[in-house]
Amino acid sequence: MNHAAIYATHPNVVTIDDTAGAFDAQGNQVTIDEAAVAAEAVRLEAAAVIKRIEANRRAAYIAEADPLFFKAQRGEATVQEWQDKVAEIKARYPKEAA
């Protein structure tokens, strides 16, 4: 069972048992709309992919592009080298992939 998708689509659900089902606060079993849960699961996964891409991109900027930026500021690298690294990171972690 996709608990996060169930909770998101069925706000009255307070507990989920993978074998017994979903229940409200009074202990009544809640009928699950499987199509809504499946659609929400897809949406949640897409959101998770976007978060991973953003985190990877941010980490790459910090580890790879930022040092080049500061080197360019000191004249130890060119601005073009820094811009090329930024473009490489954007290509490696494209926002459109999500």
Residue corresponding to tokens 């809504």: 36
DSSP string, 18-84: TTTEEE-TTS-EE---HHHHHHHHHHHHHHHHHHHHHHHHHHHIIIIIHHHHHHHHHTSS-HHHHHH
- pTM, full prediction: 0.71
Task: Report pLDDT for 63.
Answer: 98
Cα distance between residue 90 and residue 98, in whole Å: 13
pLDDT given at position 97: 54
Per-domain residue ranges of the chain: 47-98
Q: What is the pLDDT of residues 40-53, one digit of tens each?
A: 999 999 999 999 99
pLDDT in tens, 37-96: 999 999 999 999 999 999 999 999 999 999 999 999 999 999 999 999 999 999 999 987
What pLDDT score was predicted for residue 23?
96
